[in-house]
Structure 1
Amino acid sequence: MIYIGLTGWGDHPSLYMPASAGRDKLKDYGSHFPVVELDASFYAVQPVRHAEKWVNETPSSFKFVIKAYQGITGHQRGDIPFDSKEVMFKAFRASLQPFIDEGKLAMVLLQFPPWFNCTKAHVDYLRYCQHMLSDVPISLEFRNQTWYSPIFRKKTISFMEHGQWIHSVCDEPQAGEGSIPIVPVSTNTKATLIRFHGRNMHGWTRKGNGDNWREVRYLYKYNEQELSEWVGIIRELQQQSKDLYILFNNNSGGDAAHNAKQLMQLLGIEYEDLAPRQLDLF
């Protein structure tokens, strides 16, 4: 099956019913798409009560791609707010339980930063991550081109295949070492992840503090030709994995939802098990 959705459910005004005034954003979101990337888990390990709430607000067939906590992937500035890495991993793993219990965990996404290059120390750390999260499906996304350089590409793919990592295939600006090319290869027969980050070269390489840089980085609207070029790739990946999860991350200009629905049309997809649309009567 192909699951198409967005990264986060809070920044897509076109999806929300006016009558709800945005109070039920996840419920409204679930009437449009069958999967979402949970980003709140990146900024803090979420309380179980939050997970229970999100699980209860979505249809039984709904899936979550849960982004790993930033302390796990090395984005954390300063010391992690845990006594040890082991405690951090255990806390994060515990936060996943409600999703697992209801069959709504598609995978955990480990997205590593641009400085996380292909070295033995980093490969060893990936093995450690997999050991600490051994009972959940994990997808792996790099932001450093060395993993797919001519001398390492085959070894990177082989490493992911042997470890049954779910490959995160990315569409993003080709901005040198701090970005990766499109590598349309599945490394897990059960699932493959595709993430559309946009192609805003200026925004991708922009330096800055705070959240403003994110507003520029993901400001991009895919045109129909660009999405059409992906249809063949998606069909090929369908032959390699049972399920494909496709997420649009070009949220800054409100384009992600529109592009996701465009791709659904190009692929001839109509979902039947979505949440019922709320009627805007007043």
Structure 2
Amino acid sequence: MIYIGVTGWGDHDLYPAGMASRDKLKEYAAHFPTVEVDASFYAVQPARNVEKWVKDTPAGFRFVVKAYQGMTGHQRGEIPFSSKEEMFQAFKQSLIPFVDSGKLAMVLFQFPPWFDCRKEHVAYLRYCREKMENYPIALEFRNQSWFSAGFREQTLRFMEVEGWIHSICDEPQAGEGSIPVVLQATHKEKTLVRMHGRNTAAWMKPNGKNWREVRYLYKYSQEELEEWKARIQQLQQESKDIFVLFNNNSGGDAAGNAKDLIQLLNIKYEGLAARQLDLF
């Protein structure tokens, strides 16, 4: 199956005017069958939050949960846990409602641009795999060294052997801190595709306080989505389920592009939530 959605559910042009934030996931689930949970990156989520998200979505809905920033080296300042062991354990505990409901698609480990291909970083990936036990985990790099000519095949083989789901990226090609599109599944059950846009000018240039707001400012053209239609169909030959998440939402384009791709692929999702507007 092809699951198409966006990253987060709070800031998209999907909702009736005045809709409370607490009700937005219910409405979001009337449009898409999957979402990326970004809140889990900034803090390990309390059970009450996850239980509400699970309750607010239909049975067939799937969550891609972003790994906590302390687990991927993004943390600035002290980590609010006494040890890495405690940190990983707390994060896994937060996943229990997702798992019990059957709604956990995967946990996404996205590593920062400085996380390059070297021995100690490979060792840390093995550590993460061990600590995450049997949870489905996806791996996304932001340093192109992993897919350089000398390491590409070794990287893909490592991911396959260690049981990592490949997070394939469409993103600006802006030097060392970006990766190319590598169309190869490493997991027979699942593959993740994340659409970051192609705003090359803003990708690696923090030239202002609004840099992070414009980094994902991009709208995919029909031609670019047609290209990805063919790529997704190719990946279907290698992996049972394909998850496609649009992250190009600085200008509010993610939801629209996601719907465009659903239409291009002629997908008719069944079992979505009832739209709130349909209730009146």
Q: TM-score, normalised by structure 2?
A: 0.97
- Cα deviation code 1:91-149 (max 9, x no counterpart): 00000000000000000000000000000000000000000001200000000000000
Residue pair 1:17, 1:280 contacting (<8 A) in 2 also: no
Residue pair 1:17, 1:28 contacting (<8 A) in 2 also: no
Partner of 1:40: 39
Partner of 1:190: 189
- Cα deviation code 1:182-230 (max 9, x no counterpart): 00100000000000000001110121576x3221100000000011011
Partner of 2:158: 159
Partner of 2:63: 64
- The separation in 2 between residues aligned to 1:279 and 1:49, in whole angstroms, is 27
Partner of 1:78: 77
Residue pair 1:147, 1:153 contacting (<8 A) in 2 also: yes
- After superposition, residues 243-282 of structure 1 pair within 5 angstroms as 243-279=241-277
SS at match of 1:177: coil
CA 237–280 in structure 1, closer or farther in 2 if over 3 Å, else same: closer
- Cα deviation code 1:149-177 (max 9, x no counterpart): 00000000000010111000000000010
Residue pair 1:220, 1:252 contacting (<8 A) in 2 also: yes
SS at match of 1:66: strand
- The separation in 2 between residues aligned to 1:21 and 1:230, in whole angstroms, is 34
- The separation in 2 between residues aligned to 1:199 and 1:96, in whole angstroms, is 32
Partner of 1:199: 198
SS at match of 1:173: coil
CA 125–236 in structure 1, closer or farther in 2 if over 3 Å, else same: same
**RMSD between superposed Cα atoms in Å:** 1.3
Moved more, 266-275 or 35-44: 266-275
Residue pair 1:16, 1:22 contacting (<8 A) in 2 also: no
Residue pair 1:36, 1:64 contacting (<8 A) in 2 also: yes
- The separation in 2 between residues aligned to 1:45 and 1:9, in whole angstroms, is 18
Per-residue deviation, 1:232: 1.2
CA 52–281 in structure 1, closer or farther in 2 if over 3 Å, else same: closer
Q: TM-score, normalised by structure 1?
A: 0.97
CA 134–149 in structure 1, closer or farther in 2 if over 3 Å, else same: same
Partner of 1:8: 8
Unaligned 5+ segments in structure 1 are none
Q: Are positions 1:129 and 2:128 aligned together?
A: yes
Unaligned 5+ segments in structure 2 are none
Report the count of equivalent residues.
Answer: 280
Identity %: 66
Per-residue deviation, 1:280: 6.3
- The separation in 2 between residues aligned to 1:95 and 1:52, in whole angstroms, is 10
